[in-house]
Structure 1
Amino acid sequence: MSLKIRLARGGSKKRPYYQIVVADARAPRDGRFLEKVGSWNPMLGKDNEKRVELNADLIKEWIAKGAQPTDRVLRFLAEAGLAERAVRSNPDKAKPGKKAQERAAEKAQKAADAAAAAAEAAAE
């Protein structure tokens, strides 16, 4: 049985509230779970201490038993110092594609040619 520490949504429409639960990976998102280990209220401010509440002892026990936290829960655990989160960094993501790089190179070449022509005209 694959265990996940994940979010189960509660609250009303447009007012989300999440329970952090340990559940079988095959169970529905808001369905059956084994134990509630915390909560997350995204409606509260980021500086509010009640925004994320974690039961550290239970979480450590479940991780020792093999439960895997989801990405969002792992982020909460890393902030609380309960787990290590690998830094995801993709420096190539922000770079333009090949066509855009070619267009930029052509534009730079035209600007350099125009500057050279202007310098030549000024020299004469």
Structure 2
Amino acid sequence: MPVGWLDRFAWKISRTRVEALVAESHEKATFLFGTVENEVDVWDLFDIVVCVVVDNQTLRDRLLTRTTNAFGKNPEELAAALGRNDGVESTYRRFGAMILDGTRPATEVADAILAAANRRIVHPSE
């Protein structure tokens, strides 16, 4: 990945759009998945932030074997993804995120996310 590439092409989230999602969701749970360069700019809008972590070998295997996306197959992209992965868990812990083991089966991870969301939802009738 060339120097400065992320400055030009990084995925960024729109605070205005997330605020609109919050306003539209009312009492329904709304989930956003993924990571973007400026995500800390919108974390205050969420009731809970979850970080699904995997070790570098698992990440490498998943990036190199998936068929739905080519990102990570290029050596520079793979190196960047692995380099970012090294500090992800500690960064998210510092911000108070719930940490989940992404090497567990996907259904278990999804169930843990839903359980965490259900504990956070406050129902007006209660």
Query: Shared fold (TM-score greater than 0.5)?
Result: no
1 or 2, which has the higher helix percentage? 2
Q: What TM-score, normalized by structure 1, do the two folds share? A: 0.25
Q: What TM-score, normalized by structure 2, do the two folds share? A: 0.24
- Asked which structure has the greater RCO (Cα within 8 Å, sep 6+), the reply is 2
Larger Rg: 1
